[in-house]
Amino acid sequence: MNFLISGTDTGIGKTFCGCGLIRAARAAGVKCTGMKPFCSGDTSDVELIAAAGGNEVPHHLLNPVWLRQPLAPYVAAMLENRPIDITAVQKAYHELAAKFDLVLVEGAGGLLVPILRDYNFRDLSVDLNLEVILVAPNRLGVINHVLLNAESIANAGLRLALLILNEVDPEPTLAAQTNPSILEELLNVPLCLSPFQNEDFSDALKLLQKTR
């Protein structure tokens, strides 16, 4: 089983967490790669994913669709007057899935960010048979955002395999201190707390492996 890494928002650490999982998997002897099928604007995320995987995979497979503007793929493609080829993304994914034991597919923003007018990252997960790793910033408001995402995942018949609460502040607030226990109570989902700027994701990998 491979996974989509999605987030409750943009800029909340999906790439940081995904790269941490790739490095942890490779250190544990798992043949693992990342993939960012749609990249809009700056390509630093793709570079980081490539580096985490030892630069073993050519960029045209890691990132089959690059768009110039830092916007949702559907919007960026409209501005370029350029059709998005979902088939090319599926082909690249299946090529990677045939070569690697674990493929972590990073989304853009959240689950319902549009790729086409009537096709989003949740639809892509269904088509590629991916379970979901949800990354959320550990701050006030995250309980609502996580529960909404969990509901959306369940409604599509997908499985939320792991919730990563990413510490975004060096000094946790009261909300950040209480969020993990409340979410564990409300959701029957493995939860990993990622300390502020801590690159060790071995515990998160162990939780993920238990779900497979």
36 is a catalytic site residue:
yes
The owner of tokens 């043949």 is 31
Within 81-201, where are the H helices?
A: 86-99, 121-128, 142-155, 174-186
83-87: Cβ within 8 A, 24+ apart: 84/38, 84/115, 84/116, 86/115, 86/116, 86/119, 86/124, 86/127
Alpha-carbon torsion, ordered 122, 126, 132, 137, to 10 deg: 0
Catalytic one of 31, 36, 91, 210: 36
Q: CA 174, CA 193: separation in Å to the nearest integer? A: 15
Measuring CA to CA, which residue among 189, 15, 194, 44 is closest to residue 109? Answer: 15
Tokens of residue 114, six digits: 């549009």
Q: CA 148, CA 168: separation in Å to the nearest integer? A: 20
What are the residue numbers of the active site? 36
